[in-house]
Each structure stands twice: as C-alpha cells, then as structure tokens.
Amino acid sequence: MESSEAAEALIPRFELESILNQDQAGRRITLLGTIDSRPALLTFERAAFPSAPEALRLFHSLLTNIANLGANDIYAWYLASVKPSDNAAPDLKLNLIYPCTEAHIKKYSPQLVRVVTETPEIYKQYVRPYIQRKREEGRLNWVFNIIEGRTEQEDVIFRDTQNPGHDEEGFLLLPDMNWDRKTLTSLRLLGLVERRDVWSLRDLNKSHVGWLQRVREKIIDSVVSIYSGVEKDMLKLYIHYQPTYYHLHIHVIHAHLEPNATQAVGKAFGLENLISQLEAMSGDSKAGMSDVSLTYVIGEAHDLWNEVFLPLKEGRKI
C-alpha cells in the first residue's frame, strides 16, 4: 500500500468468501475474502457520531426510511437510514489486512478462551523458543521499517530518538489502526520502542525501571501536548501478553474508551503496575518478569494453546 489512492483502490476489489466474526452488539463485522486472489480480512465498524452542531444538523436532515418499532407513553424507538451526502460525516470505519496470514484469520475468528498459568519454567522451556521462532519468521519487518524511518512516517505523531532505529532510549507514537483519528474519547495510540532486545514484557527486569519511567512520562507529556483537551489522568498505558507481535510496544488509550477484550484482565498489563512490580522485586538488576508466574487468557486457536498448554493439561508429551 504505497499511497492513499492505491490503498483506497483495494476496497472495491474485495471479494467476499465468508463472514468470519461479528460482535454481540452488531457494531463490528469481519469478513474473509480475497483481493486479486490473495487472502484479505476486511472489518466494518460503526464510526463515532459527529459532535459539531453543524454536522449534527446535517446528520438529522439526512435521516430517511424512518420506521417505528414501537411506542409506550413518552418513549418510541425506530430504525432509520442515512442518505449519502458529500458533506456528511463517514458512518463506517474500515480496517483491511491484505494479504493476511493464517495467524490473522485465527486471531479474528470466534474462539473460546482459556485461562492459563505460565510458570518461569514453562516460559523458558516452551514459550521463549516459540517467541524466538516467531521473530525469525520475518514478520517484524514492518515494525523495523517504521522505527528506521522507511515507511509510515506520515503517521508518526511523535518521535523521541537520537539515532532513528538504533536508540535504546528511543520510541515513537502513531495512531492505532482501530482509532478513527478524530474522536478523542476513543483515542488509541501505539508506542513502538526502538530497542530490539525487549521482545515482550517477559524481558523486562529491574534494570529497565528507569527507562520505562522515562518512556511513560514522555508518552503522556507528548499526547497531552498534541491533543487539546486530553489530560494526564485521562490516559491508560498497558502492554499485552501474549502480544500479537514480539517487539515491545505500549498501548495508549483514553480512559473513557469503552473496555473490550484487549483491555481485560488476563490480556492487558498496566504499565504503572509493571513498573511497581519490578521495583518491589528482590534480587539484582537482572531479576525480572521472566522469574514470575503469569496468568492470562489465550484463545483455543492460538499456537501456544495447542502446542503447549493443552498438551500440559492433558499430560501429553510436548
């Protein structure tokens, strides 16, 4: 996707194969299909309503096909459509993953989740080698392209670095693909660190406390300065485990954002809590998150469930 025009041209070429998933509220649906015979995932999501008075007046005037579903005393409820208009605010947000991999399809497919406890021994014997294999598959090239300044630089909203791509203190901020880039109460940002020796929160130890504190402070200060109306105590920072990709990244969201599974206990580990946990650990500077047991949720389609935790549960050899 080299330009906006090229990216926009992909959507009309999408050919539907099946509905992959739909949330219970019906506000988001993910479709599996192809573009030019290559697999693709296309997610439709209801966009946020406009808040400017002029946009709301226009939005109201565009309502059509109004059908009453029922009425009781002072209450009434309806279905309606919105007529297309060049001046109307977009009412859909689309996310495209193209070409997608089998891992993407598994991630977006409906699946039961399991609660697992990963001991230090399980991590060192099974999970760490799995993470290393994933990194060696070359799926982090898109991350390295961003932090080295080769791609998506127009999306970078803040960069703190002395030597792009090679600064152990450096990081950059860019919008999360799930944010519409305008509704501040649904703010979602991604902080990519430049150092490459921290693959996940498991690699964090006591020697990283000062660095994490500095990164946290700079992220919060930069977001507050960039987005008028956002204050420091309106932001939540967390790290996923297991993450989608194994290069440390920090999620930054507005505290008002409606919680979903990616922010739930067993998936999101608060950055401030991680820092406090590291500070309170006994031992030398190398004592860290690889030395503790972590309990988290994992989908039944995840490789770690099928290759590690399910065999362990059933007493089978791994």
* Residues tagged active-site: 249
**Residue recorded with tokens 């989608």:** 244
Q: Which residues contact 195 (CB under 8 A, 6 or more apart)?
A: 167, 168, 170, 248
Render the chain in DSSP notation, one character per residue.
--SHHHHHTTGGGEEEEEEEEE-TTSSEEEEEEEETTEEEEEEEEEPPPP-SHHHHHHHHHTEEEEEEEEEETTEEEEEEEE---TTSPP-EEEEEESS--HHHHHHHS---EEEEEE-HHHIIIIIHHHHHHHHHTTTTHHHHHHHTTSS-GGG--EEE-SSTTS-TT-EEEEE-TTS-SS-GGG-EEEEEES-SS--SGGG-BGGGHHHHHHHHHHHHHHHHHHSTT--GGGEEEEEESS-SSSS-EEEEEETTSPP-GGGSTTTEEEHHHHHHHHHH--SSTT-BGGGS-EEEEEETTSHHIIIIIHHHHHT---
Distance between CA 41 and CA 30 in Å, rounded?
7
Distance between CA 218 and CA 52 in Å, rounded?
31
**Residue recorded with tokens 């279905």:** 79
Distance between CA 153 and CA 105 in Å, rounded?
28
